Amino acid sequence: MRFLPALLLISLSSFAQTNYDTVRIRPVKITDQIYMLQGAGGNIGVFLGKEGTLMIDNQFAPLSNKINGAIKTLDPGEIRFAINTHLHGDHSGGNENFKRMGATLVAHDHVRERMMKETVNRAGNKVPPRNADAWPLITFADKLNFHLNEEDIVLHHLDRGHTDGDVIIQFTKANVVHTGDAFVRYGYPFIDLNSGGSVNGFVSTLDKILSLVDENTKIIPGHGELASKADVKKLRDAIADIRDQVAAALKKGKKPEDIPALGITDKYEAEYGRGFVKGKDFVLVVTESLRGGM
């Protein structure tokens, strides 16, 4: 199992505790056909049209009926496809429920592979295989195209960043992109080394997202409010700077346990330290990733 700081494990555990009865699903309109739903867990993308609804991510299983109800208020049509941007339960926890409602599950090859076997979760605990109803029916390696509701939709696997199964979804005509946790707005990102994530891959993915969008693109992040290309660039530059400083410290012979005391993230803490990942924990994860050649 890869190393995670004790404080980060505590934060992850606290982050996961939610009273689902009080959660409200809030739709945010992006275009006439595309909405972002916010509740508890990752942002959900919803694409509506006469040929059926496509949803991106589905948060936690106890929220499935609320989410389905919120979508039906936007369009009563069937949910034909449910895409997972990656493995984590705050994005794929409702897979079984939405499959039973008739949706076809879609994800990267690695997502299905990891769901089929015992894994280690974000808090470092062993997790048994998911129920077979949660396994994506359609998977792909690099790129998958949908042609639905007069829109061309491209699913891209860019690199092993947040996990090794990250997928971003590009609505080419509407100029909207859903990034999953390949880009987030809660602060320092969580790089899940146990699920194949890496700091170099995270930066590489952000670079590739930047190449796919322009100043008018509306970006649905994995968590947080709608974003722009400038927001992605800002996070990319911060992570790359932190990575490069950690790499330089390691090259000079600094011990991993001494790196948090170097103040590498001090200038970013006011903006990015507000999330559940703190700067000193983030540099330890970056350190572990770099030492593992990732």
Over the stretch 58-71, which tens digit does the pLDDT of each residue have? 999 999 999 999 99
d(CA 128, CA 257) in angstroms, rounded, equals 32
Please give the pLDDT value at position 16.
54
d(CA 227, CA 197) in angstroms, rounded, equals 23
Domains and CATH numbers, the chain: 17-228 (3.60.15.10)
Neighbours of 144 (CB within 10 A): 19
Q: Which helix (H) or strand (E) holds 74?
A: helix 64-74
- Mean pLDDT of the 222-248 span: 98
Which residues, 6+ apart, have CB-to-CB distance to 95 below 8 Å?
A: 58, 82, 84, 105, 130, 133, 134, 135, 136
d(CA 62, CA 57) in angstroms, rounded, equals 14
Global confidence as pTM: 0.93
Q: Quick one: which of 131, 24, 104, 110 has its CA closest to 67?
A: 24
Q: How far is CA 277 from the centre of its chain?
A: 15
* Reported confidence tier of residue 1, pLDDT bands at 50, 70, 90: very low
For 242, the token pair is 């932190």
Neighbours of 74 (CB within 10 A): 15
* pLDDT: which is higher, 124 or 151: 151
* pLDDT: which is higher, 213 or 14: 213
